[in-house]
Structure 1
Amino acid sequence: MSIAYEWRGHFDNTAINALHAEGFGHAPLRDDWWAQVNQHSLGWVCATEDGELVGFVNVAWDGAVHAFILDTLVTGRARRHGVGTELIAVAVREARAAKCEWLHVDFDDDLRDFYFGACGFQPTHAGLIAL
């Protein structure tokens, strides 16, 4: 696989809605991701192969020193090839370059090995209220 990674790369809303639907197991939506990330995010990373979006991660932030990993997505055919790990590596590098001091992520238990093992996150105490 020859994958290109781009910080704040251009993407098509239809492509990312399809990727999100595949990743989270729901019908494709018609969300305006482009407007959302441009308004609310420090940045995002696009992974493409031959111009096709095969991976994405959103890096939201508080406008200061905390950044947050959201919506790490890799299409099924590109999984298990290091695409997700590289998406996170680019996000870490760019958040550090933006002078963020912390990069947060929360995830389901089945992704523990990915985030703690492959990506280098450390466990920490956190709180959550389901709304």
Structure 2
Amino acid sequence: MTITYEWRGEFDNAAVNALHAEAFGHAQLPIDWQTQVHRHSLGWVCAREDVRLVGFVNVAWDGGVHAFVLDTMVAQDMRKTGVGTELVTTAAQGARAADCEWLHVDFEQHLRPFYFDACGFRPTDAGLIALR
């Protein structure tokens, strides 16, 4: 099994929508990922096994020194193989190359070991306001 990782790689909306639905356990939605990431993101990473999209992560930013990992997704059959860790590593390299100083991430409690142990994030104080 050879997985390739590409910063700002080409993708189609249908593939990301299918992967997002699988990763987050919901019905497929008609999200225009192409427009979203080209308007609002520093970059994104595509992970592929041959031509199949098996992972994706979006890297939003503030236009300056802060980048944000969003929507890390890995196909069910590829979890626990290092795909997610390599997605985040490649995202960090892309953000570093763009002269960002910080890479932020928010996550649910059950993902602590992934982000802290596997990816190297460290705990920080942060705040959140629920808008819905």
Structure 2 length as normaliser, TM-score? 0.98
Matched residue of 1:107: which SS? coil
SS in 2 for 1:127: coil
Distance in 1 (alpha carbons) for counterparts of 2:125 and 2:112: 15
Match of 2:88 in 1: 88
Unaligned runs of 5+ in 1: none
CA drift of 1:50 comes to: 1.1
Whole-Å separation in 2 of the counterparts to 1:118 and 1:26: 26
1:74 is aligned to 2:78: no
Q: Which amino acid aligns with 1:2?
A: T
Quick one: distance in 1 between partners of 2:39 and 2:46?
17
Match of 1:27 in 2: 27
- Matching residue of 1:41: 41
Query: Which blocks of at least 5 consecutive residues in structure 2 are unaligned?
Result: none
Matched residue SS, 1:99: coil
Which runs of structure 1 show a deviation greater than 6 angstroms over 4 or more consecutive aligned residues? none
For 2:126 and 2:116, locate their aligned partners in 1 and report how far apart those are by CA, in whole Å. 15
SS at match of 1:45: strand
Distance 2:27 2:10 in 1: 23
RMSD: 0.5
Identical aligned residues as a percent: 70
TM-score for both structures, normalised by structure 1: 0.99
Whole-Å separation in 1 of the counterparts to 2:125 and 2:41: 24
Give the 3-state SS of the residue equivalent to 2:48 in structure 1: strand
Give the secondary structure class of the aligned counterpart of 2:99. coil
> How many residues get paired?
131
**Other-structure match for 2:55:** 55
Instruction: Encode CA deviations 1:23-63: one digit per residue, 9 max, x unaligned.
Output: 11110011100111011000000000110100000000000
C-alpha distance in structure 2 between counterparts of 1:86 and 1:26, whole Å? 24
